[in-house]
A and B are shown apart, each in its own frame.
Chain A
Amino acid sequence: MKPFSRIETLWGIMSVGAAIVALRLFDLQVMEHAAYWGAAERNRVQVIHETAPRGRFFDRNGVLLASNRLSFSVVYFPREAAAEKELEPLSRALAPELRLAPGDILGKLREAEKEKTTIRLAEDIPLREMFRLSELKVRYPGIYLVREAQRDYPDGVLAGHLIGYLGKMAPRAWRHLKRLGYRIDSRVGRFGLEKVFEDVLRGQDGGIDLEVDARGRLQRILGRRAGVPGNDVYLTIDSKIEKAASDGLASSPTRRGAAVAIDPRTGAILALVSAPEFDPGDFLSEEVTPGSVSEFDRAISGTYPPGSTFKIVVGAAGLNNDKFSIKDQVLCKGFFDLGPQVFLCWNHKGHGLISWYRAVAQSCDVYFYEMGLRTGPGLIEDYERRFGFGAKTGLSLPGEAAGKLAGPDSLPRGRRRWRQGDTVNLSIGQGGLLATPLQMATMIAAVAQRGKRWRPYYTDHIVYSGELGTYRQKPHLLGKIDLKSEVWADLEQALALVVSSGTGAAAAIPGLEVRGKTGTAQNPHGRDHAWFVGYAGLPGEAARIAVAVLVENGGHGGSAAAPIAREMFRAAFRDQTKSS
């Protein structure tokens, strides 16, 4: 053994130890540096967020539907874990100032401590109370006042169902969303377009970065980051028409119903109303919880028997296939005898000897019973599909219903056979056929365009901040209903007669070409639903607006629904005609 080999071995052992430490240093400081740097930053930086303005909603003419206003919030940011004892006195001191129960405040404070994140104690504080609260800031460290953008709906209920509302996230949802930068007290779109456009509307929150020490005490303010507002969305909605529909439904007999207006030339939705409406602003305060108001959108989710408005489809089917001609006459005695069953006309006195134009104008049921039988249920069912019944229109809103077809191929569950009586019922839009007001509007819009079916849409354009520019929604042609041009002419003339001298007289506006069809749909839930579908344009021009109005249990379409349609037409042409 060499004399110093043991000392050299000792040196070797220590060198190996030093090499292990050196490797570890390299791993921590060079390889994993970014992760540990992030951890150190998270340690020392506490952020008080300032909610950025959310993107606004405009109608097609630039009228504000949803906006933001400046407000003040009281924010608490968590401090050392040992502050648990301080939370209770703090909550008791804050309770009278914020007009909240001490227990609620304590709960929020505890949550903030647990998640080590800032939390809003009270929002939207009026300016005069601000001064009183700014004293609190001095007395209690951890309490901050921040300015932020608060959602504002200037017109209240207007387009409430379409715009939707914001709400707090469910705790479970937040766990998933916090990776996307949402905070525990962030508000997200919970319904309607606020939900559909969440990614577009959401701004990037600004905030104040604070440097804190290990015990959570504020050291200094590192800086203030300005928020980035969300992107503005321009809708195809015309707030004048929307307002007319909203007011009309609100003063209808039952105040329940829906109205849809579409530009038949493009499919752009001009109005989409479901009554009773709600004010999206109500959801911003804590009192209104989702579910306490009618969120059900009758315009897209409600399905109803179309009633006599369906006679348009029956007529198109029969005339286009020469199953009957407009000259064919039927004797209406007020009832229709089908052997085992007798079907009544709505006019029990009978319409007498009647042919196509008068039958549509007066909405004679017996005439259509006869013509429906001549046309045959298979053909009618085929035309249901052509006019878009039984299928979603493709409007990208959650909750759209597809309705229900009726015919020998679409027998309801449990039924074996299609009977003649079913054809009779189907001829006047009864018996199993169900459609949404939106579907009815697209149907009549297609009639106005002589068969061109556009997919309904509500986004006109979105103005992105930065370099993304503007996104403009293009109309999308779904297809064309191919009818002979004389059949279209017969239909148009009949629909014009409905308004000029028939059941839909209440929709008439001097100086405008208004065409339409009323409907009075029997249903198992009570009084008849009142329908009106129609379209209007300046004389000699293509129709600019097609509407479908439904008043639930409103009675006669001519008296309950047609006047609402008239007001919508009038609103649409307010600038063009002085003759109202």
Chain B
Amino acid sequence: MRRDIDWVFWGSLFLLALFGLAAVASAASPLPHYGQILRRQIEALAAGFLVFGLAWRWPYPVYQGQAKLIYAVSLALLVLVLVVGASHKGHRSWIEFFHMTLQPSELARVGFIIVLADYLSRREKFMDRPAAVGGAVLLAIPVLFLILREPDVSSALTFIPIILAMLFCAGARPAHLLGFLFWGSVSGGVILSYLFFSARYPGGEDAPWPAIFLMRAFHRVLPFAVSFALPFALAAGWRRFAEFLGVRIRLARAMRWAAIAAFGFVCAVSALHALKDYQKKRVIAYLVPESHASGASYHSQQSKIAVGSGGLLGKGLFSGTQSRLGFLPERHTDFIYAVVGEEAGFVGAMGLLLLYLLLIRRILVAAKAAPDRFGSLVCCGVAAMMGFEFLVNAGMCVGLNPVAGLPLPLVSYGGSSLLATFWALGIVANVYSRRLRMEF
């Protein structure tokens, strides 16, 4: 039993949860339903530890056998939320039953890690093929599609680093991952630069030529999409076409990259049409802060003020003016890290950061010690999930990246996130308890 427990892992996990409870208790105290919020958070923590304990004892290979079922249940929950979900601030992300609210996308994320780990562990021999990357992406598409329907872009975005990290750890060829990354950066870059130019040159006058090109491209999607899709199609079909002709001309490697870029461009343009106005505003507020005096950039600014005013040692628990007087938005959920920064200062914020690093380090230790490939990949996925969510959330609170509605796992208020995280960490604990007995 003793050897089953990674004390450092458990300790950092427990400290983080405690840290989070204190932060929520402080951040939510001026709110009208303070008692209810605190009670729910304590209940969720209790339930979370229960789930953690169960998952810790539950043999993880069972998940691998039931991967298809988990995938089906995840999709079913995501469909269910679109049908019966409660709408809050324009998102249909919560299912209410009894007195609890469940956020299926949180559970689906952990479920997807299991499903992808199962998929990749069974393709160990074929990881050097592009099909491995393609397969992982195809697996994610139904889940992402349903989450984007809610719509919850931030939540969907967390899947990308998870997929990338798991593919990487599973041994996919870096060139394929780079291609995937290249596609992502082209789509992201096009979206960002389009939004930037449209905010900077609202009327289109005096704009430099790339801006004009982008804006025209946006308004005439179809011709552009076709002209960019053509080389892509050509690249995809070239080998067959060449064989058919009986000639051996190898398409230049650059052509493939061009094709990826074209695909990225098409995706970006379609995404731009799908983005909601408030989402565009968030990104614009990050790119061109002066374009919005209030709104999204106001939140980012107030969060920076909260963190910066905390100083070295902070203003003290329950004494943060930015959070208590309401200047900080979403203080007990998305911006909880800013509350920590304000009330516990640089020391507290760094302490939280180091606890996270310690936790992630121990997850990766479990990944290395895992008895099989599936267990190892699950741990990598969980580490990527925790790491990415922490970095994006903390980065948002200190003004490094745009405002994204992501909770800080284990710390933010929110039952579903807590339960899902505890479940994931419980699986990691189980993997560790079954580690190969020879080393360490």
Contact = CB atoms under 8 A, between A and B. Distances in A.
A28 B395 CA distance: 12
Nearest to A16: B391
B362 to A, nearest CB: 11
A138 interface: no
Interface string A7-30: 101110011011011101110111
Interface in B318-359: 321-322, 325-327, 341, 345-346, 349-350, 353, 356-357
Interface stretch (A120-128, A209-217, A436-444, A511-519): A209-217
Contact of B361 (A11, A30, A81): A11
B398 A28 contact: yes
Contacts of B309: 33, 36-37, 39-41
A43 interface: yes
A489 interface: no
Nearest to A38: B309
A32 B308 contact: yes
B398 A25 contact: yes
Interface stretch (B188-196, B250-258, B379-387, B419-427): B379-387
Interface string B132-175: 00000000000000000000000000000000010011010000
B240 to A, nearest CB: 33
A14 B398 contact: no
B350 A25 contact: yes
B368 interface: yes
A35 interface: yes
Nearest to A213: B325
A9 B172 CA distance: 14
B340 to A, nearest CB: 10
Given A29-B341, A33-B309, A40-B321, A9 B327 contact: no
Contact of A11 (B306, B311, B360): B360
Contacts of A37: 308-309, 311
A304 to B, nearest CB: 59
A41 B321 CA distance: 8
Nearest to A44: B321
Interface residues of B, number: 45
Interface in A247-265: none
A6 B171 contact: yes
Nearest to B326: A214
B329 to A, nearest CB: 9
Nearest to A31: B308
A36 B309 CA distance: 5
Contact of B305 (A10, A24, A30, A39): A39
Contact of A14 (B325, B387, B400): B387
A36 B384 contact: no
Interface string B260-291: 00000000000000000000000000000000
Contacts of B395: 20-21, 24
Nearest to A25: B349
A473 B54 CA distance: 90
Interface size class on chain A is 35 or more
Interface string B360-387: 1100100110000000100010011001
Interface in A200-218: 211-215
Main secondary structure of the interface of B (DSSP, over half): helix
B29 to A, nearest CB: 13
B312 A214 contact: no
Interface secondary structure of A, over-half rule: helix
Interface string A25-68: 11011101101110111011000000000000000000000000
A21 B352 CA distance: 12
A22 B308 contact: no
A131 interface: no
A14 B361 CA distance: 10
A14 B395 CA distance: 13
A29 B312 contact: yes
Nearest to A40: B309
Given A4-B368, A6-B171, A43-B321, A29 B360 contact: no
Nearest to B384: A10
Contacts of B391: 14, 17-18, 21
Given A7-B364, A21-B398, A25-B398, A44 B325 contact: yes
Interface string B83-100: 000000000000000000
Contacts of B349: 25, 29
A465 interface: no
B298 to A, nearest CB: 10
B357 A18 contact: yes
A329 interface: no
A420 interface: no
Contacts of B380: 7, 10
A18 B390 CA distance: 9
B304 interface: yes
A32 B341 CA distance: 14
A219 interface: yes
Contact of A40 (B322, B345, B390, B400): B322
27 contacts: A6-B171, A7-B376, A10-B364, A10-B380, A11-B360, A14-B360, A14-B383, A14-B391, A20-B395, A21-B394, A21-B395, A22-B353, A25-B346, A28-B341, A29-B308, A29-B312, A30-B312, A30-B346, A33-B312, A35-B308, A36-B307, A40-B322, A43-B302, A43-B322, A214-B326, A215-B326, A219-B325
Given A25-B353, A30-B312, A33-B310, 17 more contacts: A7-B380, A10-B169, A10-B380, A18-B390, A20-B395, A21-B391, A24-B398, A25-B341, A28-B308, A33-B308, A36-B304, A36-B308, A36-B309, A40-B305, A40-B308, A41-B309, A43-B322
The 5 A-B residue pairs whose C-beta atoms are closest, nearest first, are A36-B308, A40-B309, A214-B326, A29-B346, A213-B325
